[in-house]
């Protein structure tokens, strides 16, 4: 399973790249807005942000459309895709979105279909030519549905019918979500930075490191205390 970072913050992306665990990035208007608020007086616009991310990460970077008709989506997607070869255009699933996905994928523009909440939506996006489909796990769990179940079903559907789209498990909220996404075979998990940090941790690792250090110092002290012969 590849790891994308689900953020628009450059500092978080740089840290994940330094850790060697960032295969790509997904952004959306809300993440851009949060990054702008975090950056304050040094905030940058969306185009500049995507270009700066492309300088940091060697992998797909999802940039999301904010228009609503097919004609507008096609024009906006072409513009986003022209910014950098790494750009994957995010388009929400609906009728105008599907028509745009068909036209754009025929032009060779890679599409990440977003806001997927059902297997039917995933099937339509994949059939229309999307390169990625993004089931939203956390938001489904929020309304009492099974988000990881949809990821598993989508992986199986694409495999059974030999559809080339890849599944991005999105809207992941915790480390159970990331582990489950891997277990059910998601091609990609897009992970918020705090969850990526949490994935490294285990209390037994901390305890183990401390015990090894204590024993090392004990051995060193015993060696220093030996009589000089
Ligand atoms: C990523 O592609 C999605 O936009 C993102 O994972 C949504 O996450 P949220 O449901 O936490 O906003």
Catalytic site residues? Answer: 90
Please give the Cα distance from 132 to 93 (Å, whole number). 12
pLDDT band for position 69 (50/70/90)?
very high
Could you tell me which of 69, 66, 75 has the C-alpha nearest to residue 99?
69
Please give the Cα distance from 163 to 187 (Å, whole number). 13
**Lookup: tokens for 107:** 């032009």
User: Residues near ligand 1 with C-beta < 6 Å?
Assistant: 6, 26, 28, 30, 114, 134, 136, 138-139, 170-171, 190
Q: Give the model confidence (pLDDT) of 104-124 as tens digits.
A: 999 999 999 999 999 999 999
Pocket test for ligand 1, best of 2, 6, 24, 169 (most atoms within 8 A of CB): 6
Distance 135 CA to ligand 1 centre (A): 9
Q: Reduced to 3 states, what is the DSSP secondary structure of residue 91?
A: strand
Distance 115 CA to ligand 1 centre (A): 8
b/e per residue 146-157 (b: at least 16 CB within 10 A): ebbbbbbbbbeb
Q: What is the pLDDT of residue 1?
A: 98
Distance 171 CA to ligand 1 centre (A): 4
Q: What is the pLDDT of residue 175?
A: 98
Which is the closest atom of ligand 1 to the Cα of 112?
2
**Residue with CA closest to ligand 1 atom 9:** 171
pLDDT band for position 227 (50/70/90)?
very high
pLDDT band for position 229 (50/70/90)?
confident
**Residue with CA closest to ligand 1 atom 8:** 171
Instruction: Output the pTM of the full model.
Output: 0.96
Angle CA 95–146–64, to nearest 5 = 40
Q: Which residues have C-beta within 8 Å of that of residue 78, sequence separation ≥ 6?
A: 104, 107, 109
């Amino acid at each position: 399973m590849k790891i994308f970072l689900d953020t628009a913050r450059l500092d978080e992306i740089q840290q994940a790249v330094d850790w060697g665990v960032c295969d790509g990035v997904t952004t959306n208007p809300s993440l851009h807005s949060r990054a702008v608020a975090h950056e304050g007086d040094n905030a940058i616009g969306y185009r500049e942000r995507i270009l700066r991310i492309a300088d940091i990460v060697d992998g797909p970077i999802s940039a999301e459309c904010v228009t609503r008709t097919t004609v507008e989506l096609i024009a906006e997607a072409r513009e986003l895709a022209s910014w950098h070869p790494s750009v994957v255009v995010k388009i929400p699933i609906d009728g105008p979105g599907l028509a745009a996905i068909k036209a754009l994928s025929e032009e060779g523009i890679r599409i990440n279909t977003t806001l997927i909440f059902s297997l039917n939506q995933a099937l339509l996006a994949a059939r229309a030519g999307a390169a990625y489909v993004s089931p939203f796990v956390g938001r489904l769990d929020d309304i009492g549905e099974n988000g990881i179940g949809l990821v598993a079903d989508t992986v199986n559907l694409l495999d059974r019918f030999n559809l080339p789209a890849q599944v991005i498990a999105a809207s992941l909220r915790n480390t159970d979500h990331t582990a489950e996404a891997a277990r059910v075979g998601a091609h990609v998990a897009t992970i918020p930075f705090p969850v990526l940090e949490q994935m490294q941790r285990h209390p037994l690792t901390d305890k183990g490191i401390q015990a090894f250090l204590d024993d090392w110092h004990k051995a060193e002290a015993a060696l220093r205390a030996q009589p000089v012969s």
